[in-house]
Structure 1
Amino acid sequence: MLALIAGRGALPKAIADAQRERPLICALEGFAPDALSVDLTFRLETLGTFLGALQTRGVTQVCFCGAIDRPRLRLRQLDFKTLPLVPRFLRALRLGDDGALRVVVSLFEAKGFDVRAAHELLAGLTMAAGVATRSQPQEAHQGLPALGRSLLAAMGQADLGQACVLRGQDVLAQEDVSGTDALLARFSRHGEGKGAVLYKAPKPNQDRRVDLPTIGLATAAAVVAAGFDGIILEAGGVIVLEQDQVIETLDRAGLFLWLV
């Protein structure tokens, strides 16, 4: 049996709808998915009990999907079955996002659960190499994939962010814990995005079963509003939700979507 450890957004419902049998839908308290009823809600302080509940229900596979913010650990609210996990929790909270996720995934694997990637459960979530839009990248954009990869490698060492904004050979901004939406909002507010490009890719050595970077229609609309030239994504490495609408939105505005 499959359980979705779901967060905010449309991705959990898309995955659930694609399965022959409805998965068990689980959510961290405060981070329920869009348009999908939740079967089990848990808190970090009750994770040990939650893992036992999954085993009791016959769950053998789990998929982490959807967005969550880093939760707080309230030590006074720990239940008995979660107490043995505290040392690993504390280690996770000292790490960056990717490191913390690795610790969480290891807790599920230690209980015998097979961790499945979202793009394994729903074909077509990522896109193959090529330009998906009518508009094409120009000569000024040709060096940006290499610049983006180099920058993401450095960001990955610090375990921070999966996106950056580039123009020419300049790095205009890097994603931080506030996420891609906040990154793009800065440019739409100040009108400084002309000629810029959003580059997004997984961190080097990231566990691609969890937290694969994602864009959707809201991302495309924000890039248009910011006056960017387009979006560059790692082919096969970024989930693109609402693909037809994303491409249509970029086409209408004359922006490109380049998978490389």
Structure 2
Amino acid sequence: MSKLGLIAGNGHFPFLLLDAARAHGLEVVVAAIKEETDPEIDERAAADSGVRVYWLSLGELSKLIETFHTENVSRAVMAGQVKHKQIFSSIRPDWRLAKLLLSLSTKNTDMLLGAVAKVLGDEGIELISSTAYLEPLLAKAGVLTERSPSEQERKDIAYGREVGLAVAGYDIGQTVVVASQTCVAVEAMEGTDAAIERAGAIMKTMAADGDASTFDRTLTVVKVAKPKQDMRFDVPVIGLKTIEAMEHAHATCLAIEAERTLIFDRDTVLLRANTAKIAIVAIEQG
């Protein structure tokens, strides 16, 4: 039976990919990150003889390679978020990762993960797309909810995509929150949901300060893929928590990129969005 290496970050993504890989008849060797991976992964391994879990810290690149070599893994996938602040503050690199970090001209997430992918490749371990085995979860083009975006929301989407693509090109973040073609919040290291919540807090503060125009504005969330998105890592994802954050912020519209955004728990997400009268639209590239 073929083996797949799974480098597991946080959230539900690793479990979805694990299930999909097992459904394809693959044995899965999980490299669980101590700082990120849900401990439930051990329970999954205990219940399935085709899954083996090894725990390692974020900076243990040598141990990762040794583990995959020992298990004869030649293909691997990254699934699940690793918080940016973890990568650049909590990390304690081993000698191999320290050497890699010193070689980087720009220490952003894309540069780091791309360099790790190259090291893995040099060691005979191909890093494949994080959407492997999960193609059905990619958003299809069109309006996904009962309600379509309003004319004002469509204008905000157009503006938000322009800003979002520019910001994503610098590997700052992939989400912007817009009101009346004005940028309210830009995602940085805090992540999408926190950026949405921050935008809601800004609007509430403006309203409390007596800005009458605030009551005429609604928030539109625009999440884009990077102009040169590497589908092996950091693929845009939305889920129930995204919709919950939008509800809390009183955001009314969400735009994502078709075929380059994963939707987790799709039925639950759309039901919650429809109940909250939130419009979701997936837009084709170009």
> What TM-score, normalized by structure 2, do the two folds share?
0.82
- Correspondence list, 1:64-75, <5 A: 64-69=78-83, 70-71=86-87, 72-74=90-92
2:246 maps to which of 215, 223, 239: 223
1:207–1:146 Cα change, 3 Å: same
Determine helix, strand or coil for the equivalent of 1:124: helix
Match in the other structure for 2:5: 3
Are 1:56 and 2:58 counterparts?
Answer: no
- Structure 1 match to 2:41: 36
CA distance in 1, matches of 2:103, 2:160: 30
Report the Cα distance in structure 1 between the residues aligned to 2:104 and 2:41, rounded to whole angstroms: 29
State how far apart, in whole Å, the 1-side matches of 2:171 and 2:247 are: 28
- Contact preservation (8 Å) 1:51, 1:111: yes
Question: What's the Cα RMSD here?
Answer: 2.1
List structure 1 segments (4+ residues) > 6 angstroms apart after TM superposition. Answer: none
CA drift at 1:73: 4.1
**Does residue 1:110 correspond to 2:122, yes or no?**
yes
Residue type of the alignment partner of 1:16? L
- Deviation for aligned residue 1:34: 6.3
> 1:89 deviation in Å?
2.2
Query: Would the aligned equivalents of 2:238 and 2:261 in 1 still touch at CA under 8 Å?
Result: yes
- Stretch of structure 1 that moved more, 117-126 or 228-237: 117-126
The aligned amino acid for 2:63 is T
Cα distance, 1:190 vs structure 2: 5.3
The alignment status of 1:251 with 2:274, answered yes or no, reads: yes
In the alignment, which residue of structure 1 is the partner of 2:161? 149
Measured after TM superposition, the shift of residue 197 of structure 1 is 0.8
- Letter paired with 1:200: K
Cα offset, 1:91, TM superposition: 4.1
1:101 to 113, 124, 133: 113
Instruction: Give 5+ residue unaligned stretches, structure 2.
Output: 43-51, 205-213
* Shift, 1:141, TM fit: 1.9
**Bigger mean CA deviation after superposition, 118-127 or 56-65:** 118-127
- Measure how far apart 1:158 and its partner are: 2.5
Deviations 1:95-145 (A, max 9, x none): 222222111211211212121222222231211100110011111122333
Residues 85-234 of structure 1: matches in 2 within 5 Å?
85-92=97-104, 94-189=106-201, 192=204, 195-234=218-257
How far off is 1:252 after superposition? 0.3
Partners of 1:176 and 1:251 lie apart in 2 by 28
The verdict on how the C-alpha distance between 1:18 and 1:113 changes in structure 2, with shifts beyond 3 A counting, is same
Question: How much does 1:189 deviate?
Answer: 4.2
Aligned equivalents of 1:49 and 1:34: distance in 2? 19
Distance (Å, rounded) in 1 between the aligned partners of 2:169 and 2:280: 27
> Aligned-pair distance for 1:43?
2.4
Tell me the CA shift for residue 88 of structure 1.
Answer: 1.2
CA offsets per residue over residues 212-255 of structure 1, 9 Å max, x none? 01110011111112111110001111111111011000100111
Is the contact made by 1:13 and 1:33 (CA closer than 8 Å) also made in structure 2? no
3-state SS of paired residue (1:24):
strand
Q: In 2, Cα distance between the equivalents of 1:74 and 1:150?
A: 37
What do residues 27-55 of structure 1 show as CA deviations (whole Å, max 9, x unaligned)? Answer: 22211136322711122443113202201
Distance 1:90 1:33, change over 3 A: farther
CA distance in 1, matches of 2:272, 2:223: 18
TM-score normalised per structure 1: 0.89
Q: Secondary structure at the match of 1:143?
A: helix
Contact kept? 2:147, 2:277, Cα under 8 Å: yes
The total of aligned residue pairs comes to 254
Q: Is the 8 A contact 1:127 1:236 kept in 2?
A: yes
2:76 & 2:194 partners in 1: Cα distance? 29
Q: Would the aligned equivalents of 2:185 and 2:198 in 1 still touch at CA under 8 Å?
A: no
SS, match of residue 133 in structure 1? coil
